[in-house]
Structure 1
Amino acid sequence: MISVTEWQKIGAGVTGFGIFFILFGTLLYFDSVLLAFGNRHKLKGTSFFLGGVVIVLLRWPLLGMFLEIYGFFSLFKGFFPVAFSFLGNVYNIPFLSESNNSWLPQLFRRLQGTSSMV
């Protein structure tokens, strides 16, 4: 009989969980109802990002990474003002707080702009 160590048992369990969640995620990804709620209005950013991944796999890494970066910024451009607004209003972190008269909160306030996610 083959002896199985504790580390091998843990590895088998973690691998099993990983395979389950990959299959479950793939199943949910192709669900038509969830696709209807998805980000169809962000098709340009998604296509640039996935196209960049394909270009990297086709051995054009520099061009592919530029396409991925453009797709990433295109996908998350609505989130950046919210994140910069949060970082500009943080008062409990000494490096980011107003009491230190730091240049970082002013930079975050400039980057947040006026657009919102709503």
Structure 2
Amino acid sequence: MEVTNMQKLGVGLSSFGVFFLLLGVLLLFDKGLLAIGNLFCLAGLGCVMGLEKSSSFFLQPERKKGSAAFLGGIVVLLSGYPFIGMLIEAYGFVALFGGFFPMAISFLRQVPVISLLLALPGVSDICDRIVDPKSQ
């Protein structure tokens, strides 16, 4: 599968978005950095997936609640309440992308250094619950 220049640009924008989000949280929820990070992440997602696939992903009936919380959190953040906005956004993120967490954890358990961290006693129990919630 060939990666287009637009997808490379999207990965770069998303990376900058994550960087600005982390920096915004480290600087005690600086709303400017958080807003820039959110905009970069959304633009990067649009470039990687394409606008049509991105809009259909966010507008699926089973994901409307998560989409509303995620985008509503961004609006609250831009309105001047960064901590509350990030909490709402985090809920929306988990509601939207929660189905991908078991697959991501299974992949990360195969990465050499990260697998050691995920094998720690408390972390291992949490990861096991995420990967297979019915076994608990």
Deviation at 1:113, TM superposition (A): 1.4
Alignment of structure 1 residues 4-19 onto 2, 5 Å: none
- Measured in 2, the distance between the counterparts of 1:53 and 1:43 equals 15
Matched, 1:38 2:57: yes
Structure 1, unmatched stretches of 5+, are 1-21
Instruction: Find the aligned partners of 1:82 and 1:37 in 2 and give their Cα distance.
Output: 22
The reply on whether 1:113 has 2:132 as its aligned counterpart is: yes
**Higher share in helix:** 2
Once the two structures are superposed, what CA deviation does each residue of 1:28-75 show, in whole Å capped at 9, x if it has no partner? Answer: 63x5xx578534121111110110111111111111111101000110
Q: 5 Å matches for 1:1-118?
A: 29=51, 34=53, 37-39=56-58, 40=60, 41-88=62-109, 90=110, 93=112, 96=115, 103=121, 106-107=124-125, 108-113=127-132
Letter in 1 for 2:66: G
CA displacement at 1:114 relative to structure 2: 5.1
**CA separation of 1:106/1:67 partners in 2, compared to 1, >3 Å: closer, same or farther?**
closer
Contact 1:96 1:105 in 2 (8 A): no
* Number of positions where the alignment pairs a residue of Structure 1 with one of Structure 2: 84
Q: Check whether the contact 2:108–2:114 (CA below 8 A) recurs between aligned residues.
A: no
Unaligned runs of 5+ in 2: 1-42
Asked if 2 retains the 8 angstrom alpha-carbon contact of 1:85 and 1:109, the reply is no
Q: CA RMSD in A?
A: 3.4
Q: Distance in 2 between matches of 1:49 and 1:95?
A: 28
Q: Which amino acid aligns with 1:111?
A: I
Please report the TM-score for the alignment, with normalisation by the length of structure 2: 0.47
